[in-house]
Structure 1
Amino acid sequence: MASALGRFDAAVLAGVVLVTTGAVLGNGVLFMSATVPFVYAVAATVSRPPPPSITVERSFDPAVVTPGQPTTVTLTVRNEGDRILPDVRVHDRPPEQVRVMGRPCGCLSLRPGETDTISYEVVAGDGEYDFGDPTARFRPLSAVESRTDRLAASGDETLRCRPLTTAPEIRAAADQRIGIRTADTPGSGLEFHSVREHRHGDAASRVDWRGFAKTGDMTTVNFRETNASETAVVVDARTPGRVVRAPGHPTAAEFAAHAAEQLVDRLLAADHRVGLAALGIDAEAVGATTPSDRAGRPWVPIGDDATTRTRTEAVLKAVIDAAAAERAAPQPAFAGSVRHRAEATNAAALRDRLPRASDVVLVSPLLDDAPLSLARTLSAAGHAVVVVSPNMADRARDATENGIGARVAGIQRDLRLRRLRSRDIRVVDWETTGPLSVAMEGSA
């Protein structure tokens, strides 16, 4: 839909007034002065901007991003007409839910067939975001009139923001993979256990062929067997984690939920038994029928069947929805987390649900002391505990919008990491701009 905003009518009106006044008063000067606005009006008519003759193509780089990762939006503008466009001002329409860094607009001058670009960056949380049609305003050299049109942009229209799907390798504090527990009995596996006499029916792959070549005696190699253990993933979605690094970024609790989702998927895909607990939401908030612990929080019993998968997906979706709702509402930036009162994790209610020999992966941004107490309590009870912590504080230290509060929160988080490691609890410090799998490997 186009709209013309010009000075043509004003020039004509001024000319008519001067002619009329000059004629009535017999003033030749006023009569002759009327030629100025009439010439101006004629010039405006001659130089009136042409109809739209440009095309706009939008592109995202990268096309699919992770929550909190900046993506570059580029508008490629091309003059498809045969006239010079000396003043073209293009303004894109990004969705309100994303944070815009830079200016989504630009002023261009295009010859026939010439192309120019406008670029800016946006940051979004988990989800899909539709961009509106950009607008373009045309003005001639005389600048006496302008024309504004909304243009249908080709190319990318929807920005898709999804968590990283790289399956992380999970190792316990004793450098064993969580979800796999080493047995003392010999059998098939990867780690050498012993050698025995060859028996009829032994697999050829387990024959010690090198020893046979040297001695002529055929022996069979035993490896240490590994058995699937039971693992509980605990995601910390309490209020202290429902803060953002900057407006438009995902909350710390959302990052924790995405990490928990990757860990659960990896373990279930490897045929391990998995359970899930969520701190900070009520079981009633979960869409599917889900059991709870004594504190009323969702608890998915350890298993590996379809029901386990359905329940874990429902709980994690409820966690992300709750955190995203607070991200969309007005709230303090990341620095606000230091002002939250610590919420208890109620370790006893969680311990009641955990099998005695189960491993625990606690996913928490560590923005208060409660997760430390939970990790120490579970470790003291004999559970192998790994803490996976999305690092929100470290990057916020350089953000002037967060100021001293962010610096204090970052220092406090560093101290919590050291306190956990001093208790021989393995900690994965995940910088959320990179894959979780890289962070897991780096902390092994």
Structure 2
Amino acid sequence: MTRDYVWRATPALARSLLLPALLAVTGLALGRADLVLLGVPLAVGTALALGTAAERRARRPPPEVRAIGPRILDAGRSVPVAVRLGPSDAQLVATVLPPAEAGGDADSVAVAAPADGERQLVVEVTAPRWGAQQLARPDHLAAAADGLLVAGPVAGPPYTAQVLPAVAPALPPGPLPPRPAGMVGAHRTRRPGEGTELHDVSPFQPGDRMRRIDWRVTARQAGPRETLYTRHTLVDADADVVCCLDNRYDLPADVAAWLDLGEHAERPGRTSIDVAVDTVASVAAAYIDHGDRVGILDLARPLDPVHLGSGRRHLLRLRTHLARHTRRPGSGDALPAPRHAPRLPPGAIVVVTSVFLDDAPGTLAVTWRRRGHPVVAVDVLPSPLVLDAADAATTLAARLVLAERQERIRALEAAGVPVSAADPAALGLGLARLRLLARGVRR
């Protein structure tokens, strides 16, 4: 134990020493033995308590209080976090418990320090936002000698966890690109080959596999011209998906706070980047669950993408990257979007998340659409917007900005890029619309 605990006397110790002395002096001065005897139990009790405390300090270490819990957890999901108290020379330890929600008010509790072994105080903690979050710091105060001596308060070691973005359940699978590159997957194509969807039944030809022979159809053709018939199937393919994250703006639902973002380290409530990161994580999980390959392109840092991959470990890698590397710009800190649309894998599905306050993300989405990529845009501006706290000038400016934003969204839809809201129901409909558009292109 490296922390230096300094035991100090409390006012109770001063009273327990002064009162017997005062009674003894008064009893001797007045010749009253009862006053002297009245102070004897206090003096004996104080001596025993101090002696016991000295013996405990000689045999046991100072108090060790720390918070333990999972190092990686999901946003919005409750996890048990324990405050662990080790054996020490203290009799009583008062400690701060983790708040039920990260950033909330914490409660304190006083417990008897364990003589042997350890004691744990378990609390369910929820982290509402992704990123590195300090979930607990068990500051504590130790007491000994029946409360006559105290040490602290001592700042406990902080417990920090990496909170991953939440994943919305039950998102439908997205469309298959017009030219799927994969040879395995959960999507049905129109390309003949090894798969599960029946294409046709035709006479056996050189090169057909014996296990593909349809014996029922062959048996119906019994006779002098008996012919073997084989079943042909359509290839089950996977898709390449690139989720483009526009994190150049971080806007809350309160319009009056848009101009003050540079002055506050902590954004009020849920912001557009929170919505965008959760949307990207949910879309990635929906596609990866169907065996597709997913990557991430940060429009503020287009040279540092997360390359395509599949599987549960890749999904964990994507969510960890989002939680650790997604930046939150302040007021006047918006980085320029790339002037030219980055090259994406041929036929990859593109999901663009943005607040569409300028033309850059819409221009990139239309460019990718013209290159033959299925593209869906997701509006991540928090809703409903709050204009009550803004003054008249701010309200007028906000209405003009929102009107221009709405025109950009209409232009995107006119160019063949469906625009969806970020909630799971609307996003599911947006993926369904994109699936219909992709089928129309293949026809």
Give the shorter-chain TM-score range: 0.5 to 0.7
Which residue of structure 1 lines up, in the alignment, with residue 76 of structure 2? Answer: 68
Pairing partner for 2:251 from 240, 264, 278: 240
**Separation in structure 2 between the aligned mates of residue 162 and residue 318 of structure 1, nearest angstrom:** 9
Q: CA contact under 8 A between 1:47 and 1:140: conserved in structure 2?
A: yes
**Separation in structure 2 between the aligned mates of residue 379 and residue 210 of structure 1, nearest angstrom:** 50
Shift of 1:367: 1.8
* 1:368-388 alpha-carbon deviations (Å, 9 max, x no partner): 5978876665454334x5847
Q: 1:230-379 maps to which residues of 2 (within 5 A)?
A: 231-235=241-245, 237=247, 238-240=249-251, 253-254=273-274, 256-261=276-281, 263=283, 276=297, 278=299, 283=300, 286=301, 289=303, 320-322=326-328, 344=357, 346=359, 348-356=362-370, 357-368=372-383, 377-379=411-413
Residue identity (%): 14
Shift of 1:201: 0.9
> Could you say if the C-alpha distance between residues 275 and 208 of structure 1 is closer, same or farther in structure 2, counting changes exceeding 3 Å?
farther
Q: CA contact under 8 A between 1:71 and 1:121: conserved in structure 2?
A: yes
* 1:269-298 alpha-carbon deviations (Å, 9 max, x no partner): 9675867464xxxx3xx3x746xxxxxxxx
Which residue of structure 2 lines up, in the alignment, with residue 335 of structure 1? Answer: none
Which residue of structure 2 lines up, in the alignment, with residue 212 of structure 1? Answer: 218
Shift of 1:76: 5.0
Which residue of structure 1 lines up, in the alignment, with residue 347 of structure 2? Answer: none
> Could you say if the C-alpha distance between residues 149 and 212 of structure 1 is closer, same or farther in structure 2, counting changes exceeding 3 Å?
farther
User: For 1:253, what is the secondary structure of its paired residue?
Assistant: helix
> Could you say if the C-alpha distance between residues 214 and 189 of structure 1 is closer, same or farther in structure 2, counting changes exceeding 3 Å?
same
Shift of 1:41: 4.4
- Output the aligned Cα RMSD: 5.7
Shift of 1:44: 1.9
Q: Taking structure 2 as the reference length, what is the TM-score of the superposition?
A: 0.55
**Separation in structure 1 between the aligned mates of residue 83 and residue 296 of structure 2, nearest angstrom:** 46
Which residue of structure 2 lines up, in the alignment, with residue 147 of structure 1? Answer: 150
Shift of 1:200: 0.6
Q: What amino acid sits opposite 1:147 in the alignment?
A: V
Pairing partner for 1:196 from 198, 202, 207: 202
Q: CA contact under 8 A between 1:169 and 1:177: conserved in structure 2?
A: no
* 1:283-329 alpha-carbon deviations (Å, 9 max, x no partner): 3xx3x746xxxxxxxxx7x9969xxx9xx999957872217x89xxx
Q: What amino acid sits opposite 1:203 in the alignment?
A: R
User: For 1:322, what is the secondary structure of its paired residue?
Assistant: coil
> Could you say if the C-alpha distance between residues 348 and 219 of structure 1 is closer, same or farther in structure 2, counting changes exceeding 3 Å?
same
Shift of 1:132: 5.1
User: For 1:190, what is the secondary structure of its paired residue?
Assistant: strand
Which residue of structure 1 lines up, in the alignment, with residue 122 of structure 2? Answer: 119
**Unmatched runs of 5 consecutive residues or more in structure 2:** 181-186, 255-265, 332-354, 385-401, 436-443
**Separation in structure 1 between the aligned mates of residue 245 and residue 422 of structure 2, nearest angstrom:** 10
**Separation in structure 2 between the aligned mates of residue 232 and residue 359 of structure 1, nearest angstrom:** 11
Which residue of structure 1 lines up, in the alignment, with residue 259 of structure 2? Answer: none
* 1:109-168 alpha-carbon deviations (Å, 9 max, x no partner): 578669764333433332364865653523555x5x1333689999x9653433468999
User: For 2:206, what is the secondary structure of its paired residue?
Assistant: coil
**Separation in structure 1 between the aligned mates of residue 236 and residue 120 of structure 2, nearest angstrom:** 57
Q: Taking structure 1 as the reference length, what is the TM-score of the superposition?
A: 0.55
